[in-house]
Amino acid sequence: MKATKKEWPLWEVFVRSKNGLEHRHFGSLHAADAEMALENARDVYTRRNEGVSIWVVESKNITASNPDHNGEMFEPAQDKVYRHPTFYDLPDEIKHM
């Protein structure tokens, strides 16, 4: 094998399936630049009308939370039941609230 050449960078692909819905992560692909990433995303992820809009972002630009820190990150929300409507006692007569 030849010396390792420079690999095309990795891009994350987000697709809006139809207007009214949010863009959703569909997967990733390699491309030399953003324009090519869009074209490849069209060919790889929307061959059967799966989308009306595509976002691509280079993977290295995404900052992700670390699942090892999920405790301090997400647990504080667990004991805050007062943030949910069911926490509050109302008279039975009250219907729509």
Partner 1 sequence: MSEEQIKSLEAQFEARIARDEKIEPKDWMPEKYRQTHIRQMSQHAHSEIIGMLPEGNWITRAPSLRRKVALLAKVQDEGGHGLYLYSATETLGITRDELFEQLHTGKAKYSSIFNYPALTWADMGAIGWLVDGAAIINQVALCGTSYGPYARAMVRICKEESFHQRQGYEILVTLTKGTPEQKEMAQDALNRFWWPSLMMFGPTDAESPHTAQSMKWKLKRKTNDELRQQFIDQTVPQAELIGLKVPDPDLKWNEDKKGYDFGEIDWDEFWQVVKGHGPCNKERMKARIAAHENGQWVRDAAMAHAEKQINKKINKAV
Per CB under 8 A, the list member of 43, 79, 92, 93 interacting with partner 1 is: 43
Tokens (6 digits) for 1: 């094998």
Q: How far is the CB of 53 from partner 1 (least distance, A)?
A: 19
Residue of 4, 19, 61, 78 interacting with partner 1 (CB under 8 A): 4
Beta bridge partner(s), residue 35: none
- The binding track of 56-95 with respect to partner 1, each residue x by CB under 8 A or -, is --------x-xxx---------------------------
Q: How far is the CB of 35 from partner 1 (least distance, A)?
A: 9
Residues contacting partner 1: total by CB under 8 A:
22
| CA-to-CA dists, residue 43 to 21, 25, 50, 57, angstroms | 21, 16, 11, 17
Q: Count CB atoms within 10 A of the CB of residue 18.
A: 10
DSSP H or E segment with residue 53:
strand 53-58
